């Protein structure tokens, strides 16, 4: 990273910082922009997979696959015609395994609502991935992560975690008086501890930390981002960028910045609160273009 001075972390992220840590050129093929898979969904929360998958495409990922329970596969295929859909029952199909093994980045967790199902999926998916495939864990996949420490250690895949504050407290084991965890916030120290514990890049409420101790801060005081589905948009943006870059830290920093910038733009268009997660997702390519083209971004 010697030619990317701001990739070293330990500072506030601005558009200019990101320009000194540029994304790869998109190329002229969807395959050159990366292949992603989103594993999740349930009858109670099928929309989370849609939000995450579309957000991945909106930051430039080239090919999208959705791995979801059979009960919601057809509605999601109709709702997201841009993606291929792989239904699962108790086990992954051979076709699903082939798709996952050819993915550049995989997101697991959005829309899952059952701990047992989540554990089973993680144990089924992780062994079939190529070592270079970036794995992003969100939502219920974070809730069961403390039970899967051995499985994670066996995996060679770069790992990115996108917890909210409650999930961060769980990962820190908030019952430990020395943990430094807070129900109100997860600061740089907390994020760094999660990153070191799980050997993962972590993005939590504007703080991104790496296992080696690097930290980046994306400033925001936008209450509108605290809306249902916003975390799915962030996780989708991160996995989409991870497929493009192969670098979990860069994907997390860029994704967190772009989600924040998209929310800030919506404050001007819609209002301080009341905009929807789907609108944040729709704003992502505009925010990305402003960074890359140096227009309207600071």
pLDDT digits (tens, 9 = 90+) for 67-86: 999 999 999 999 999 999 99
Mean pLDDT of 96-125: 96
Alpha-carbon span 106 to 44, nearest angstrom: 22
Tens-digit pLDDT profile for residues 25-70 = 876 766 778 999 999 999 999 999 999 999 999 999 999 999 999 9
Residue 6 has a pLDDT of: 54
Binding-site residues for AMP sit at 231
Q: How confident is the model at residue 90 (pLDDT cuts 50, 70, 90)?
A: confident
Of 135-139, 150-154, 205-209, 275-279, the least confident: 150-154
Q: How confident is the model at residue 108 (pLDDT cuts 50, 70, 90)?
A: very high
Q: Residue 175: CA atoms inside 13 Å, Cβ hemisphere, count?
A: 0
Q: Return contacts of 191-200, CB within 8 angstroms, 24+ apart.
A: 191/215, 194/161, 194/163, 194/168, 197/171, 198/145, 198/149, 198/152, 198/159, 198/161, 198/171, 199/152, 199/159, 200/159, 200/160, 200/161, 200/248
Binding-site residues sit at 48, 111, 231-232
Beta-carbon neighbour count of residue 70 at 10 Å? 11
Tens-digit pLDDT profile for residues 216-260 = 999 888 898 999 999 999 999 999 999 999 999 999 999 999 999
Alpha-carbon span 124 to 105, nearest angstrom: 16
Residue 174 has a pLDDT of: 46
Alpha-carbon span 79 to 96, nearest angstrom: 20
Q: How confident is the model at residue 11 (pLDDT cuts 50, 70, 90)?
A: confident
- The domains located in the chain, with CATH, are 25-293 (3.40.1190.20)
Residue 30 has a pLDDT of: 64
Alpha-carbon span 122 to 141, nearest angstrom: 8
Binding-site residues for (6S)-NADPHX sit at 48, 111, 232
Question: 220: closest CA among 208, 202, 232, 237?
Answer: 208
C-alpha dist (Å) from residue 120 to 12, 91, 117 = 38, 9, 5
pTM higher than 0.85 for the full model?
Answer: yes
- Contact (Cβ atoms closer than 8 angstroms) between residue 64 and residue 131: no
Tens-digit pLDDT profile for residues 153-181 = 888 899 999 999 999 999 998 435 444 44
Residue 296 has a pLDDT of: 57
Alpha-carbon span 72 to 77, nearest angstrom: 9
Structure token pair of residue 258: 């772009």
Residue 32 has a pLDDT of: 73
Question: Beta strand pairing status for 63-69 and 35-39?
Answer: parallel
Alpha-carbon span 13 to 6, nearest angstrom: 9
């Amino acid at each position: 990273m010697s030619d990317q001075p701001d990739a070293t972390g330990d500072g506030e992220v601005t558009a200019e910082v990101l320009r000194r840590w540029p994304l790869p050129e998109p190329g002229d093929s969807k395959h050159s922009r990366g292949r992603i898979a989103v594993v999740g969904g349930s009858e109670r929360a099928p929309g989370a997979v849609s939000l995450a998958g579309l957000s991945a495409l909106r930051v430039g990922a080239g090919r999208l696959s959705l791995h979801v329970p059979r009960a919601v596969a057809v509605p999601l295929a109709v709702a997201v015609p841009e993606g291929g859909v792989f239904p699962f029952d108790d086990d992954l199909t051979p076709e699903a395994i082939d798709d996952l093994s050819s993915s550049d980045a995989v997101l697991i967790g959005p829309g899952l609502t059952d701990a047992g199902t989540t554990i089973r999926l993680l144990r089924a998916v992780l062994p079939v991935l190529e070592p270079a495939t970036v794995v992003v864990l969100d939502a219920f996949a974070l809730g069961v992560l403390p039970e899967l420490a051995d499985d994670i250690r066996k995996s060679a895949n770069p790992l990115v975690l996108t917890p909210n504050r409650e999930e961060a407290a769980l990962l820190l084991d908030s019952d430990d008086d020395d943990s430094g965890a807070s129900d109100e916030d997860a600061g740089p120290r907390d994020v760094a501890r999660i990153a070191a514990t799980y050997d993962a890049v972590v993005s939590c409420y504007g703080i991104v930390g790496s296992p080696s101790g690097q930290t980046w801060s994306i400033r925001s005081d936008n209450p509108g981002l605290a809306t249902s589905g916003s975390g799915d948009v962030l996780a989708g943006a991160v996995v989409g960028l991870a497929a493009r870059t192969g670098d979990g830290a860069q994907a997390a920093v860029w994704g967190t910045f772009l989600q924040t910038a998209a929310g800030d733009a919506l404050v001007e268009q819609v209002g301080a609160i009341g905009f929807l997660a789907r609108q944040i997702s729709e704003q992502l390519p505009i925010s990305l273009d402003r960074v890359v083209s140096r227009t309207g971004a600071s």
